[in-house]
Amino acid sequence: MTDPQNALPLDEHSRAALAASALTYDALTGADASAFDRWLQAAYRGLHFDALTPEQLAQYREGFGPTRAIGVWDPTSAEPESPVATVASWRSPLSLGDGRSVDAWAISLVSVAATHRRRGIARALLEGELRAAHAAGIPLAMLTVSEATIYGRWGFGPAAYTADYRIDTRGLRVSAPLPAGRVHRVETAALRPAAPALMARSHERVAGEVPFDTQQFDRMFAIAARTASRAASLRAVRFDDASGVAQGFALYSVAEDPHDFAAHTLTVEYLCAATDDALVALWHHLLDQDLVATVVAPLRPVDEPLEWMVSNPRAVRTTDRREHLWLRVLDVPAALSARRYAAADSVLLRVTDPLGFAEGEWMLTTSPDGAATVTAHAGELHGAAVIDLGVEALGALLLGGTPVEALRLAGRLAEGAPGSADRLAAVLRPARAPHLSTWF
């Protein structure tokens, strides 16, 4: 059954809009396993994934219960019991760094069948989610996207980025000092119970992370049916500090080069570091392996210090860099006051929002200790910086990972007073680049 905190009422505006096209908009109750299986298969088909096996479906049903699942059905289709569109959503904390977080509405599995495109279905689904979350007092919506051209029209902006790295380890020396402590080889099954607590501590250090659910952990550790075929090749190490306390872990696999046995490729499947020492020690271990010529590390932070940790910075190549986490602000005061800021100042944000949720003039006032207040503005500026921007730009800037100057040059925001962009950039600057280490 859906968790009560996720059981938001269906949006009546979207229901009426779809009913006008003879389509049914409804939520699954969780009581009908076959209805859930059809819904999930439709979502996977719409996203061009392989169909799920009965065992995989059973695992999904067990772990998916708390999630809000909505579908759109066409009674005139050849298979009217299968939805032609899907969306899943749930309430989740979003990390803001410094041990802080903010409540957000996570949106996933947005799909529309190829037979039903261009009929306003996606718009009804997305706007329904935003209206429901806003009515529930949730200050943000968030998602990861398969296509970067879609979600800006609903006010989402890219707020956290990710990078893929490829490191040539032949002749490479890790020059960063090796921290006190020890890296242990461990069995993946033995590491799995400790992973959630370690990852929670790791996530507190950086903005942009969201908690993993049980299914994500089971897939990561190759316990789930979808990833069980990887179990034999998955390896695990754990870093303990000088006091013997676990502070991080890494999961990785190694693939043989068919032409050179001394040139294996090591893939970092996941690296979790709750301390700086853990990050350095685990990279030492991963980069200093016999019979390995290449290390690849996908979905890592864009400010990963790898090139500064090794003797040859040219051995570290960024093979991809892209936006990953998209945010949509629904409540400006709640969203902006939740995080800490890097400088004391006052910035008037004049926000436009076609859907109306974030529309208005908002005074962001930050103090030397990093705390902030956000109020609806009425009156004198008293020397405040002034920024005009759309809600999608506000979402992109929220975590500090998108350069203010880049948005200004691109015409995505404008200064209402000279020097305002520099002042906003100084206020927003994070200690670490925002990062999300998973898809959802």
pLDDT digits 0-9 by tens, 83-113: 999 999 999 999 999 999 999 999 999 999 9
In this model, does residue 150 exceed pLDDT 60? yes
The least confident of 48-62, 86-100, 424-438 is 48-62
Do 119 and 195 belong together in one domain?
Answer: no
- Of the candidates 278, 307, 325, which is a domain's last residue? 325
- Judged against a pLDDT cut of 90, whether residue 4 lies above it is answered with no
Q: What mean pLDDT is predicted for residues 175-200?
A: 97
Q: For residue 438, is it within any domain?
A: no
Which residue among 288, 305, 325 closes a domain?
Answer: 325
Distances (CA, A) of 206 to 200, 354, 372, 401: 11, 31, 19, 11
Considering the entire predicted model, what is its pTM? Answer: 0.95
pLDDT at 304 over 90: yes
Give the residue with greater pLDDT, 127 vs 58.
Answer: 127
Q: In the predicted model, is pLDDT for residue 350 greater than 50?
A: yes
CA dihedral 226, 229, 233, 236 (to 10 degrees): 40
Q: What is the mean pLDDT of residues 372-398?
A: 96
Domain that holds residue 34: 4-155
| Contact indicator for 305, 168 with CB cutoff of 8 Å | no
Rounded Cα–Cα distance for residues 123 and 180 (Å): 54
Residues 232 and 116 in one domain: no
> Is pLDDT above 60 for 2?
no
Whether residues 37 and 83 fall in one domain: yes
DSSP state at residue 207:
B
Q: CB within 8 A of 127, min separation 6: which ones?
A: 11, 13, 14, 154, 355
Q: What is the largest CA-CA distance in the chain?
A: 72
Smallest Cα–Cα separation from 2: which of 89, 81, 73, 82? Answer: 89
The number of domains in the chain is 3
* pLDDT score at 229: 86
Q: Residue 191: in which H helix or E strand, if any?
A: helix 188-191
Final residue belonging to a domain, choices 298, 325, 352: 325
Compute the distance between CA of residue 95 and CA of residue 211 in angstroms, rounded to an integer.
9
Determine the pLDDT at residue 226: 77
Question: In the chain, what percentage of residues exceed pLDDT 70?
Answer: 99
Q: What is the pLDDT of residues 266-298, one digit of tens each?
A: 999 999 999 999 999 999 999 999 999 999 999
| Mean pLDDT (whole number) for 392-419 | 98
A 10 A CB-CB count for 383 gives 8
Q: What percent of the chain has pLDDT over 90?
A: 92
Q: Residue 439 domain-assigned?
A: no
Give the separation between CA 36 and CA 88, rounded to whole angstroms: 12
Q: Are residues 307 and 348 in the same domain?
A: no
Q: Specify the CATH number for the domain of residue 292.
A: 3.40.630.30
**In 291-347, which residue ranges form alpha helices assigned H by DSSP?**
306-309, 332-337
Q: Determine whether 175 is exposed, middle or buried from the number of CB atoms within 10 Å of its CB (0-12, 13-18, 19+).
A: exposed
| Residues 427, 425: Cα–Cα separation, whole Å | 5
